[in-house]
């Protein structure tokens, strides 16, 4: 799938504040990447992924500096390609260093402000991506539900063996199933939205669903993983009780499950009108979107 990196030829001229914001965000990303590299240097786990991040972030810093110095228009091509790649790569970088998750919304913001335009998928290709997205999304929901049940079992079990086993299995499911299904569901959803009429920021239901999908990894990598790690260590002792930490983990995972059900409902119901970006004139049409298109997209 090719990407049209040319500036939009129709619609209102971009405000002067947007180019300045893009440039500022490039420098913010440079600072964030430097911080991430510093944190990646402290550790030895996931050596291959850690090395990839230690190479990827300096390259991203160099390209961000070039894009910032060239300006939002001349550096637009670099911005789009760089942050499209980094939005995906930082999921992988987050395995050795959770802080990398914070770079994902930053890269997506820069990407959105750079206003890339993607060609429409053919019906056949769209069906393939739709099948992949639905499958991975269902898998993610199933994994979240499984982890919630395991957290309930671990918190309520009276047997030490059952409690310990529940948290050990939860940890394995988190690493082996939750992270891959989460990553693949978000990536296929991103590709599907950018390659179809729905877009990423044209419709509120797509934007809210994507926000839900991205916020879950951020919370999972910080709050949920810390709670799960603490419980895995604590329950080694047969006399230890999950206590409030077990309840907090259960509530966190239950919240993820409810949020994913909400995203599923949004996919089916497709509520709300278009955003202000989606209501702009279609390039080449010469006229604003009508009331029907505002309601039905």
Instruction: Going from the first residue of the chain to its last (297 residues), give the mean pLDDT of each consecutive group of 10, the final group possibly shorter.
Output: 46 59 93 93 81 94 94 87 90 85 88 81 93 96 96 92 92 88 90 86 90 89 88 88 94 96 95 81 46 42
Q: What is the reported pLDDT for 297?
A: 39
CA distance 91 to 256: 18
pLDDT at site 280:
60
* Residue 67, pLDDT score: 93
Residue 274 DSSP SS3: strand
Residue 136's SS3 state is: helix
Distance in angstroms (rounded) separating the CA atoms of residues 101 and 93: 8
Kindly report the pTM of this predicted structure: 0.77
pLDDT of residue 37: 93
User: Would you kindly state where each structural domain of the chain is located, as residue ranges?
Assistant: 17-113, 123-296
Q: What is the pLDDT of residue 7?
A: 44
Residue 296 is predicted with a pLDDT of 42
Task: Give the pLDDT score at 244.
Answer: 94
> Would you put residue 280 in left (φ > 0), alpha (ψ -120 to 50) or beta?
beta
């Amino acid at each position: 799938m090719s990407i049209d990196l040319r500036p939009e030829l129709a619609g209102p001229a971009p405000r002067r504040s947007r180019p300045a914001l893009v440039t500022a965000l490039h420098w913010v990303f440079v600072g964030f990447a430097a911080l991430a590299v510093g944190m990646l240097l402290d550790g030895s786990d996931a050596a291959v992924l850690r090395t990839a991040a230690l190479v990827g972030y300096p390259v991203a810093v160099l390209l961000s500096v070039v894009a910032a110095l060239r300006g939002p228009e001349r550096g637009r091509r670099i911005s789009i390609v760089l942050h499209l790649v980094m939005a995906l790569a930082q999921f992988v970088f987050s395995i050795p260093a959770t802080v990398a998750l914070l770079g994902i919304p930053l890269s997506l913001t820069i990407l959105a402000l750079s206003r890339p335009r993607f060609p429409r998928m053919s019906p056949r290709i769209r069906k393939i991506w739709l099948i992949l997205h639905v499958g991975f999304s269902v898998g993610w929901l199933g994994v979240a539900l499984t982890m919630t049940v395991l957290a309930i079992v671990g918190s309520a079990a009276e047997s030490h063996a059952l409690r310990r086993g529940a948290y050990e299995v939860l940890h394995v499911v988190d690493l082996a199933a939750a992270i891959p299904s989460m990553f693949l569901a978000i990536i296929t959803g991103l590709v599907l939205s950018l390659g179809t009429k729905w877009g990423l920021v044209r419709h509120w239901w797509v934007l809210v669903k994507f926000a839900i999908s991205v916020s879950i990894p951020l919370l999972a990598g910080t709050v949920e993983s810390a709670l799960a790690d603490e419980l895995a260590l604590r329950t080694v002792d047969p006399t230890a009780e999950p206590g409030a930490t077990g309840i907090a983990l259960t509530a966190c995972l239950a919240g993820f499950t409810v949020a994913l059900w909400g995203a599923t409902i949004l996919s089916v119901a497709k509520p709300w009108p278009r955003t202000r970006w989606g209501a702009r004139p279609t390039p080449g049409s010469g006229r604003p979107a009508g009331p029907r298109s505002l309601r039905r997209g």
